[in-house]
A and B are shown apart, each in its own frame.
Chain A
Amino acid sequence: MDFLLENIITGLSIGSILLLIALGLAIIYGTMGVINMAHGEFVMLGAYATWAMNAFLGVGFLASLIVVFLGVACLGYLVERGVIRFLYRRPLDTILATWGVGVMLQQIVRLIAGGELRYVEMPPALSGTVSVLGITVSGYRVFVFLFVLALFAATWYLMYRTAFGTKLRAVVQNREIASCFGINSSRIYSLTFAYGAGLAGLAGALVAPLKSVSPEMGTTYVVDAFFVVVLGGVQSIFGTVASAFVLGEATGMLAFLWNDTIAKALVLLGIMILIRFRPQGLFTSKARR
C-alpha cells in the first residue's frame, strides 16, 4: 500500500508544478484564444529574476516572489501592447509571433546572464522533510502544493467574485457587446495577459530551487503546460486543475511501471487521442463561441 501512496504523492507533486505553469497559460488561452509560446520564457525569466535577486541583492526567496510577479506581469503587459493585440483576428499567427518573442527573451537572457546553468537555493525554513500519512515528503514540495492551491483560489476569486472578473467574462462571451456596455475591452485583455504572465513568472520562481535554471528551461515547460490546458478544456480553470493532476498522476504511475521516456510518450499518445475525440477538453460540458 505504501508504494501506491508514495506514487500518488509523487503524482500530486508533478501535477502541482504542471498546474502552476499551466494556470497562467490557461487564463491567456482560455480568455483570449492566444497561444502564448513565450509562456515558457516568462517562466524562465521568473527563475532568473529569483536567481539574480538571490545572488546579487541578497533578497530572500519569499520576498522575491512579489517582485518577480510584478516584474514579469509588466513585461507581459508590454508584450500584449506591442505585439499580441494586433493579432486577435489571426489566432494561429499568435503561435508564430509569441514564438519570436520567446526567442528574443531567451537570447537576451543568454547575452546578459550567460548560457551556463544556475542554481537557486531553497529557503532554509522549507528545506526539511515532513511526514504525510507516514510517507516522508520534501517540505518544499508540500509548500509548492499549498502555494499552488492558494494561487488557484486567488485566481478563481479574481475571475468570479470581482468586478474585473465579471468584465473579463463579459468580454470573453462577446467582445462587441461588452464594449457597447462601456467595458474597455482592450484594457481588460492587456491586464489579463499581464496577470497570466505574472503567474508564469511566479511558476519560474517556485520551480527554480527544484531544477537548474538555464535559458532553454522554458521550452520543455510550455509544451507540457499547453497539453494540460488543452486537455482541461478552454475557459474552465477547474478543468485545468483536474487535468494537471490527472496528467501528473498518469506520468507518475506510468514512469513507475516502465520508465520516464515511455511514460511521457504514452501520456502524449493519450492526449492526442483525447483531443481527437474531445477537442473541447475533457472537463467542459459545453463549448461556447
Chain B
Amino acid sequence: MFEIFRNMTASRRQTLVQVLTYMLFCAAILIFPLFLDNDFLLNRYARYLVLGMVTMALSLSWGYAGILNLGQALSFGLGSYAMAMALKLRTVPVHTGAGGLPDFMVWNNVEKLPWFWEPFYSLGLAILAGIFVPVILAVVLGWFMFRGRITGVFVAIITLANLVVVNLLIIDQQRFTGGFNGITDLAQLEFFGFEFDAYSKSTYYLVAISLSLCLFGALALTKSKAGLILQAIRDHEERVRFFGYDVAVYQIMAMSVSAAIAGIAGMLYTVVMEFASPTFLSVPLSLSIVVWCAVGGRQSLLGATIGAIVVAGMQGALSESEAFLDTWMLIMGAIFVLVVLFLPNGLAGLIDMLARKAFGRGRHRKSDGPASDIIPTETAKSP
C-alpha cells in the first residue's frame, strides 16, 4: 500500500489525498444522523448543508474560474421558487378559489392560474425548471458579458445588478409571486413513494446525498481538462486566449455549472425551510455566500462548503439572543477582514499550509495555489 503511494507522482498523490478527504467529509455528514436523534436539530443542520452547497457552487466559478459572481443567490432563489411553486400547487386547497388557485393569488384577485405556473403541476418539470432556468439565465448573462470580454470588477457589478433587477421584479409582481411574503404553506415533497418531511431524517439524507454527489461532480470537473483550462483562465486570461482557446465558452460553462448546482441547492432549501421568499435572492444573502466562500477558502470546493457550514452554523447557534447576535456579527466582520488580509485562501489555505509544514516540503506540490503568489502585478493591473 505505502509502496504504491510512494511511487506515484506528486500531483497524483495530491489528488488521492484530496479524494480521500472529500470521501471522509461525505461519510461524516452521512453517518451524522446516527448520533443525533433530534429532528429539530437535523433540520437545522440540513439547512447549513444546503448553504454549504450553494457556497461550493460559488467556489467553482470564483475560485476556479475567477468569475466573482455577486449574484450567486439569483440561481439559488430561482431554484427555491421553482420548488415552492410545485409544492404550492400540491397543497390541499383550503383558502383557494376555482381550480386550486394558490391562496395569495386569490387574495390578489387573480382569476386564472398564469401560464408560467401551469408546468409546475408536474414535479419532474418543476425540478427541470429549478435547474435549467438558472442555467439558461447564466448562459445568457455569461454570453452577454464574456463575449464582450468583461472581466474583474465589472463582472461583479453586472451580476449584482442582475440580481437586484430580478429581486425587484419578484417583489413587485406580488399577484404572481407572493411579493414580500414569498410562497408559504407548502405541501410536502414526495417522490418515488418517499415523503420528505422537513423535520425528519429523510430530508437530511436527501440534502446530504445531493451535496456529496455535487461535491464529487464538481471535483471531477476541476480535475478534467476543462477544469485545468478554467484555472489557467483565472490565472492569465490573455495567455489562454493566445493559445487559441475560446475563453468565453469556458467561462460560460463554469458559470452555468455553478448556476445548476445553486439551483439544486435552492430547491433543497425550499424543502428544508418549507417556504420560499425574496430574501433567498437578496443582496445580503448573496454577499454572505461570498463571505462564506472566502472564509472557507475560495480555491477549495470542500473548504468553501465547510466555511459556509461553520460560519452559518455559528451564526444560527448565537441568533437565539439578540445581544449575542449583534456581538457575533461584530466579531464576524473582524474575522472576515483578518481572513482577507492574511489568509487569501481561507481556512483551506491555512490547513494546506500547516499540512505542508507537518509533512515536510515537496510531498504536496501545490498545483491549485493562488495565482497572486506567482504573478502579483498581472492581476493587479488587469482592470
Whether A276 and B340, one on each chain, are in contact in the complex, defined by CB atoms closer than 8 angstroms, is no
Count contacts on B: residues with CB < 8 A to the other chain: 45
Q: Which of B111-154 contact A (CB under 8 A)?
A: 144-145, 148, 150, 152-154
A272-B158 in contact given A89-B372, A91-B153, A97-B337 (Cβ < 8 Å): yes
A86 CB contact (under 8 Å) in B327, B341, B380: B341
Task: List chain B residues, Cβ under 8 A from A99.
Answer: 287, 291, 336
Interface residues of B in 317-356 (CB under 8 A from A): 326-327, 329-330, 332-334, 336-337, 340-341, 344
Partner-binding segment picked from B6-14, B165-173, B190-198: B165-173
Q: Is A110 an interface residue (CB 8 A)?
A: yes
Q: List 29 A-B contacts (CB under 8 A).
A: A33-B383, A83-B337, A87-B340, A87-B341, A89-B380, A90-B380, A95-B156, A96-B336, A96-B340, A97-B341, A99-B291, A100-B291, A101-B333, A103-B329, A103-B332, A103-B333, A103-B336, A107-B330, A111-B327, A227-B157, A261-B168, A265-B165, A268-B161, A268-B162, A268-B165, A276-B145, A276-B148, A279-B150, A279-B154
B381 within 8 A of A: yes
A289 at the interface (CB under 8 A from B): yes
- Is the beta-carbon distance between B290 and A96 smaller than 8 angstroms? yes
Contact check, B376 vs A89: say whether CB atoms are below 8 A apart. yes
Known: A101-B337, A261-B171, A264-B164. 11 other contacts (CB 8 A): A91-B153, A100-B340, A104-B330, A111-B326, A219-B283, A223-B160, A265-B169, A268-B162, A268-B164, A269-B165, A279-B148
Cα separation A97 to B333 with both chains bound (whole Å)? 9
Interface status of A203 (Cβ within 8 A of chain B)? no
Question: Which B-chain residue is minimally distant from A97 (CB atoms)?
Answer: B340
A271 interface residue per 8 A CB criterion: yes
User: Are A275's CB and B158's CB within 8 A?
Assistant: yes
Contacts A87-B341, A100-B340 given: A111-B330 contact, CB under 8 Å? Answer: yes
Q: Chain A interface secondary structure, helix, strand, loop or mixed?
A: helix
Question: Number of A residues whose C-beta is below 8 Å from B?
Answer: 44
Q: Which residue numbers of B lie inside 8 Å of A, CB to CB?
A: 68, 144-145, 148, 150, 152-154, 156-158, 160-162, 164-165, 168-169, 171-172, 283-284, 287, 290-291, 294, 326-327, 329-330, 332-334, 336-337, 340-341, 344, 372, 376-377, 379-381, 383
What CA separation (Å) do A265 and B372 show in the bound complex?
36
* A227 adjacent to B329 (CB under 8 Å): no
Cβ of A189 within 8 Å of any chain B Cβ, yes or no, is no
Q: Which B residues touch A279, using CB under 8 A?
A: 148, 150, 154
Which 4 A-B pairs rank lowest in CB-CB distance, beginning with the nearest? A103-B333, A104-B333, A100-B336, A100-B337
Asked if B340 and A275 make an inter-chain contact with CB atoms under 8 angstroms apart, the answer reads no
CB < 8 Å neighbour of A92 from B156, B291, B333: B156
